[in-house]
Amino acid sequence: MPAYQYGDFQNEIYSAGINGIVPKYPFDYVSLERAGSEVLPWWVLSYVAGGAGDEQTQRANVAAFRKYGIVPRMLNGAYERDLSISLFGIDLPTPLFMCPIGVIGLCALDFHGDVQIAKAAALTGVPMVASTLMMDPMEEVASHFGDTPGFFQLYTPRDRDLAASFVARAERSGFKAIVITLDTWTTGWRPRDLNTGNLPELRGYCLENYFTDDIFLRRLDRSPKEDLNAARLEWLKIWGNSLQWEDLDWLRSLTKLPLLLKGICHPDDVRRARDHGIDGIYCSNHGGRQANGGLPALDVLPEVVEAAGDMPVLFDSGIRSGSDAAKAIAMGATAVGIGRPYAYALAVGGTDGVVHYLRSALAELDLLMAIDGFPTLRDLAAAEVRAV
């Protein structure tokens, strides 16, 4: 018997269809986004859907995937596929991961989306990169990962002791790597949210990691429960640290876990990262939420990959489907981040909706590898990609 292939999901769906069982959730991104938009509260939707400026970069991220095509190869035994990768010595069954999304907690109807995503990670083997901004503390979220490794995304606070505490807590909770986000020490110019004065964190949402940390709490006279206003103002004082290269040496000294830098788009920055003992690069423009007018992240990926050499390169910004993931891998990404799509999937169906979305993306990727003749991700990575 051949091993289970993700593409068998397709057969399950057709077989169910014969028996009159109609799928609960959509299979294409446009329908998923529409369904998610109908159920999210307006202010969460505005925050998730929006980006910087007139959202030109956000749209360009998605459009970039239409500019490239993979050249298929035939007759080379792609009857069975292997989608596994190894990252920092950790074996993962697939090349996908879930990007850090600070308000993911709010995208679930019960406002405990971080836990629901952790459960989806456990069920699929697709790791969650958990944001610093959570509706539940990281210890609780990590307790639902099952056998799937989790990564912790650090928004480095200005208070160094608090940063050290977050890293230590992440290590104790069993997270397997730390992702330091560099492009969001201040919020981008986001007209959709500016029009309604909408910033969830400032209202005191998603700050549970801070509100459960002794180092943060000692800055307050009264607990966040007693005085939420004072707590969120204190958060605003310490939250965004505009790091410099030298600060990486301090961050490096905090942990032996693999460290990744998120937001890297220039090959010189890749080389400097290596000089500072960084283990992995995360190429991203934050889904066009931070700076408008920049290049699509996919367009800079090949240069970043070349400069990275043997360092793994994680990628996000514009991935909507399994075939998008295939292109990013063919252009050099080691692992590929799903962002906005899983937020909508969570809104539509909770953990179940996210598992459905991830299985669909993996099925599409797997079938594409079957049809295009790439039995392994190594073969796909070596595929010829041409500009359309």
Ligand X SMILES: O=C(O)C(=O)c1ccccc1
Ligand Y SMILES: Cc1cc2nc3c(=O)[nH]c(=O)nc-3n(C[C@H](O)[C@H](O)[C@H](O)COP(=O)(O)O)c2cc1C
* Active-site amino acid positions: 286
Site string for ligand X, 169-208 (x = CB under 6 A): ---------------x--x-------------x-------
Per rule CB under 6 A, is residue 323 in the interface with ligand X? no
- The CA radius of gyration of the chain, in Å to the nearest whole number, is 20
The one among 181, 209, 255, 321 contacting ligand Y by CB under 6 A: 181
- Contact call for residues 171 and 258 (beta carbons, < 8 A): no
Site string for ligand X, 131-170 (x = CB under 6 A): --x-------------------------------------
Contacts (Cβ under 8 Å, ≥6 apart) of 225: none
- Contact call for residues 99 and 337 (beta carbons, < 8 A): yes
- What DSSP assignment string belongs to 59-100? HHHHHGGGGEEEPP--SS-TTS-B--EEETTEEESSSEEEPP
Residue 201 interacts with which of ligand Y, ligand X, none, CB < 5 to 8 Å by class:
ligand X
Residues between 264 and 293 with contacts to ligand X, criterion CB under 6 A: 286, 289
Considering the complex, what minimum distance in angstroms separates the CB of residue 134 from ligand Y? 9
CB nearer to ligand X: pick between 138 and 383 = 138
The size of the interface with ligand Y (CB under 6 A), counted in residues, is 23
Buried b (16+ CB within 10 A) or exposed e, 5-44: bbbebbeeeeeeeeeeeeeebbbebeebbebbeeebeebb
Residues between 89 and 128 with contacts to ligand X, criterion CB under 6 A: 102
CB nearer to ligand X: pick between 112 and 262 = 262
The size of the interface with ligand X (CB under 6 A), counted in residues, is 7
What is the C-alpha end-to-end distance of the chain, expressed in Å? 39
Per rule CB under 6 A, is residue 102 in the interface with ligand Y? yes
User: Cα–Cα distance between 224 and 208 in angstroms, integer?
Assistant: 10
CB nearer to ligand X: pick between 51 and 125 = 51
Written as one letter, the residue type at 125 is G
Considering the complex, what minimum distance in angstroms separates the CB of residue 328 from ligand X? 20
